[in-house]
Every structure is written in structure tokens, then in C-alpha cells.
Amino acid sequence: MIQPNIPDTDRPRVVIVGGGFAGINIAKSLKNAPVQVVLLDRNNYHLFQPLLYQVATAGLEPDSIAFPLRGIFKRQKNFHFRMGEVKSVNAADNVLVTNIGDIRYNYLVIATGSNTNFFGNKLIEENAIGMKSLIEAVQIRNYVLKQFEESLLLSSEKEIRPKLNFVMVGGGPTGVELAGAFAELRKYILPKDYPELPLHLMNIYLIEAGPRVLAGMTEASSKKTFASLEHIGVKVMTNVAVKDYDGHNLLLSNGETIETQSLLWSAGVKGMPIAGLPEAEVLPNGRVNVDEFNLVKGSKNIYAIGDIAMMVNDDRFPKGYPMVAQVAMQQGKQLGKNITASLRGRAMKPFRYADLGSMATIGRNRAVAEFAGIRLSGYLAWVAWMVVHLLNLLGFRNKLVVFINWFYRYFTYDRGTRIIIKRGAANIVKLRQSVYQTDPLLP
């Protein structure tokens, strides 16, 4: 048993797994608590997932929506970051087993979030592209731009068509925003970049298995969104499910087939539990049952927060809270306060979710937003969307770079970052193995 080199102190140690919205919020809220905070993540950055779709569509550089975790906490004395991957938890001994060694804990907080859910369809999983990580977004950008480059080399419509059919599956905010961004690309960028491309062959589909897009919002917002998407040329299909996809032919539940080489999947997410948690409490969708204090049921000092946590204590959400950033942030803050309170001999408070509303953009100048009983759509909602996202993005530099990109794009109708970064054939040396050898060192 190797012990990674974390200093031993008299303070109880809170080990947090995952530096997403939930993880960084609990770490911050423990700033002045009499504990040692250890944050573990397989990446060294916090990712602002709501803007991933803009990276995927060449609107933002990857670096502008990632913020180094060490940077966030550089003034927090009780904080220690370690980059590493969790293997399992040994609850009997209060030890977390990781690829960088075993880490002892007094409190363990699971904030591993969620990943793309292909609902068990292996063929789709092999051929579709998910969008939950930075590298996936960069991969989509590379891949989509290559489709355009390759289309130019072809002369037969039959061959070009599948390269220019882009299909988003899942009518949630990610699917809607992606489809809108694709429509924007087609309208403003491609005619200038690829004057030779037969753009009339390009189709953008949005496929939703349920009866409406943005099902988490009101029916009025769903209708507006549907109309806006159709207006900018997205073919929206509701009540249609994906049956199968082999990389070329997409088979739909209504019997139709679409020839496409690009299936972007945001139809669902699932929790990412850790081996060693009480098995009975891990649900088929990967979420873990917790009580109203985020304590994992059947355990004493293991908590789960954010997407991974299945908490049912609110009549509005009989199937648990939605897997969104707001819940993660609020649960993180609350658990931080609760741990502090219990160490100081005070009672913990049960979690109560304050729904601040939701919003989604639909291409340029269009969005829908709902908050505090108000419903906005169109230009005003679009501006609100930008302000909210800018304010929530971590770090002054990132805010500024994102703002510049948006400002530039608004006036020039251009997208700056449409570059294909690839591993070159020549002169990339094979770097030495490292302790992180499960991951190739190269991006």
C-alpha cells in the first residue's frame, strides 16, 4: 500500500472525489472548517460543461471553459489537490484505493458526476459520439470539420449526403444548443469557408424520444423552441426513438432511416458510482441512494452529491433531483456547511433545493429562459443566457476570453477556432511512462 504524499495533520480529513460543480462547491465551503480537504480528480481542471457544445462547434477554445483546480484553491490553506483515478473504496478501513495509492479518509464525498448513457446499446455506443468531456468536444470539432474537408473531395451526391447529415439525439438543452450551433455554422460560416460545398445536401436533425424538446421547461417554452429550431432549418422529430446505428445507417422507431456518419448523442446520462459502495443502494442508472443529508444509505461517513446522488425528499421531484449543475452546486455548499456544523457539535440541516430556473439558447439571438415565475424568449432570453453563463464561468481570464469570442462572433458572424488539432505523424516522441500510465500522455 503506497501512500501518496499527503501531509498528515490532527484535523479530520475530508476526501472529495471529483472536481465538478459539486466537488468544488463543497471544497470551497470547507475553507474555514477545522478539516483537511483532499480533492481528487483524474483531470487537473474544472470543466464548465454548459459551454461544451460551443467548443464542439468551433465557437470557443477548449482552454476557455476549463479552469485549473489548483488555481481555484490557491488561497485555501487547508486544501490539497491530487490528480488521480479512483479504483474502489474500502469502507471497513476508511480507505480510498486509487491509482496513485491508498488515501485514508474521515469523511468521503463522492462527486463523480455522470457520463453519457447509451442505455445498453453497444452498437450505438461504439458509433455515436457523446459529449461530457473536453476531449470529446475537441474530438467532435475535429471530426465535424473533417467531414466538410472530406466532402469536398467527393463528387457524387450519394457519397456526400451521409457526410453532411448531422444528427443530434436527445432534445434536452445540450441537443437543442448543439443543433442551433450547427444551423448557425451552416448559415454563416460554411458558405464562406467552403464555397464549393453543396450545402443544400446538409441536414441537421434533432431527435427526441419524448413528446417535446426541453421537457424540463414549460410547454410554452418547448413550443417556442420547436418553432425556433424549425425556423433556422433544424429538422426536429419528437416521439421518435433511435433503434440502432451502425456508423452509417440510423434506424428510427418510425421506420425511417437516415444515412449519416455523425450521430451526436446527448439522450441521457448515468451516474458513475465507485466500487465498494453498499451494493443495494446503487441504482441501475448508476445513481446512489442518499438520505436528505447526502449520506449514502447504509454507510456512516460516505456522502454523495451532485448527479451521482439519488435523493428523494421533495414532492416536486419524486424521482430524485434533476442531474443539473444547480443541484450539484447547492448540495456541495450544503454538505460543506453540514460537515462544519457537525464538527462544531451543531445539527445538520436537510437539503432543500431552490430551483433558480433554466434556460437554453437556440442559435444566434434566440433563447428560452424561465426563472422566478417569469418566462422569456427571443433576444432578451439570449442576452440573459449569456450573462448568466459568463458570470458562472470560473476565472477572470476565462470570462474575458469567452466574452471576446462572443463579441467577435456577434459582429463578424465568424467562428475563430475551427482548427483540426491532430497527432502528427512526424516527430512526436513516445514519452516515458508515468504513474498516470493508464492514460496516454498525449491528448
Task: Please give the Cα distance from 28 to 339 (Å, whole number).
Answer: 13
Closest CA to 112 of 215, 25, 21, 244: 21
| CB nearer to a second copy: pick between 283 and 401 | 401
Binding mask 75-94 for a second copy (x = CB under 8 A): -----x-xx-x---------
Q: Residue 259 pairs with which residues in a beta bridge?
A: 249
Contact between 4 and a second copy by CB under 8 A: the answer reads: yes
Of the residues 12, 90, 194, 357, which one makes contact with a second copy according to CB under 8 A: 194
Task: From 18-26, 199-207, 217-225, 410-418, give the range in contact with a second copy by CB under 8 A.
Answer: 410-418
Task: Examine the residue annotation and report whether 177 is marked as an active-site residue of this protein.
Answer: yes
**CA-closest candidate to residue 382, choices 238, 184, 213, 192:** 184
Q: Is 326 in the site for a second copy (CB under 8 A)?
A: no
330 to 23, 294, 389, 409: CA distances (angstroms): 11, 11, 17, 33
Give me the least distance between CB of 204 and a second copy, in Å please: 19
What are the contacts of 8-13 at 24+ separation with CB within 8 A? 9/36, 11/35, 11/36, 11/78, 12/36, 12/106, 12/107, 12/343, 13/37, 13/38, 13/104, 13/105, 13/106, 13/107
Cα–Cα distance for residue pair 401/409, rounded to 1 Å? 12
The reply to whether 426 sits near a second copy by the rule CB under 8 A is: yes
Compute the least distance from the CB of residue 64 to a second copy, in Å.
Answer: 7
The reply on whether position 400 binds a second copy by CB under 8 A is: yes
Q: Name the nearest CA neighbour of 269 among 329, 315, 325, 313.
A: 325
Residue closer to a second copy (CB basis): 3 or 257: 3
158 touches a second copy (CB under 8 A): no
Helix (H, G, I), strand (E, B) or coil at 204: strand
Radius of gyration of the chain (CA): 23
Cα three-residue angle 343-307-305, rounded to 5 degrees: 5
Which of 177, 184, 208, 370 is the catalytic position?
177
Centroid of chain to Cα 180:
18
Looking at 4-154, which runs of residues are DSSP E strands?
Answer: 13-17, 36-41, 45-47, 66-68, 79-83, 86-90, 95-98, 101-104, 107-110, 114-116, 129-130
Least distance to a second copy, CB of residue 243, Å: 18
Would you give the binding string for a second copy spanning residues 36-55, x where CB under 8 A is met? ------xxxx----------
Q: Which of residues 218, 259, 397, 410 is near a second copy by CB under 8 A?
A: 397
Smaller CB separation from a second copy, 3 or 239: 3
Stretch that binds a second copy, among 144-152, 167-175, 206-214, 347-355 (CB under 8 A): 144-152
How many residues form the binding site for a second copy (CB under 8 A)? 91
x-marked contacts with a second copy along 231-250 as a string, rule CB under 8 A: ----------------x---
Name which position in 300, 316, 319, 423 contacts a second copy (CB under 8 A): 423
Amino acid of residue 57 = T
Q: Nearest approach, Cβ of 273 to a second copy (angstroms)?
A: 13
Which of 8, 10, 155, 345 is the binder for a second copy (CB under 8 A)? 155
Q: What is the dihedral of CA 90, 94, 96, 100, to 10 degrees?
A: -120
Which of residues 1, 153, 347, 391 is near a second copy by CB under 8 A? 153
Nearer to a second copy, 93 or 126 (CB): 126
Q: Does 74 bind a second copy (CB under 8 A)?
A: yes
Helix, strand, coil shares of the chain, percent, nearest 5, are 35, 25, 40
Task: Choose the binding region for a second copy from 9-17, 222-230, 332-340, 389-397 (rule: CB under 8 A).
Answer: 389-397
Check binding of 10 to a second copy (CB under 8 A).
no
Figure out which of the listed residues 1, 344, 372, 434 binds a second copy, where binding follows CB under 8 A.
434
Q: Residue 13 or 42: which CB sits closer to a second copy?
A: 42
Give 131 or 376: the residue with its C-beta nearer to a second copy. 131
Beta-bridged to residue 13, according to DSSP, are 36
Closest distance between a second copy and the C-beta of residue 295, in Å?
Answer: 27
Closest to a second copy by CB, 155 or 255: 155
Question: Cβ closer to a second copy: 111 or 369?
Answer: 111
Interface residue with a second copy, options 9, 34, 71, 253 (CB under 8 A): 71
Which residues, numbered 279-308, are part of the site for a second copy (CB under 8 A)?
A: none
**Residue 199 CB neighbour total at 10 angstroms:** 15
Strand 101-104, strand 288-289: pairing: unpaired
How many Å apart are CA 441 and CA 185, to the nearest integer? Answer: 32
Residue 28 CB-density burial (10 A; 0-12 exposed, 13-18 middle, 19+ buried): middle
* Minimum separation from the CB atom of position 162 to a second copy (A): 10
Alpha-carbon distance of 149 to 127, in angstroms, equals 20
Active centre residues (catalytic): 177
